[in-house]
Amino acid sequence: MIEEFDSFEINQKNPDAIILGDIYKNFNWVIHDNAFKLINENNCRLIALHKNKYCKRDGRISLDLGPFADAIEYASGIKAEVMGV
């Protein structure tokens, strides 16, 4: 995802926006909580690349980005802007 946004300044201290993408097994509570904290502390925009509820991985359904984006929306009170479908 970083390559897609290489023309933007990546600021992890006081960002203008948090962009959520699917990082599959690398997604964890610490990353989720940090995104929430940055939104809360900086009143920044929340952007989700998509809000799919689930997807297929290895022939089985698996959670996708949507439920995690919804959790941050719920906790922060900020509605995500969705870039894709």
What's the pTM value of the predicted model, to 2 decimals? Answer: 0.85
Q: What is the DSSP letter of 1?
A: -
Specify the pLDDT at position 84.
77
Q: In degrees rounded to 5, what are phi and psi of residue 69?
A: -65, -40
Token pair, residue 28, equals 């964890």
For residue 33, the model assigns a pLDDT of 96
44: domain CATH number is 3.40.50.1000
The structural domain count of the chain equals: 1
Residue 11 is part of which domain span? 2-82
Question: Which pLDDT score is estimated for 25?
Answer: 84
Of 1-5, 24-28, 47-51, 75-79, minimum mean pLDDT range: 1-5
Counting Cβ atoms within 10 Å, is residue 65 exposed (0-12), middle (13-18) or buried (19+)?
A: buried
17-41 tens-digit pLDDT: 999 988 888 889 999 999 999 999 9
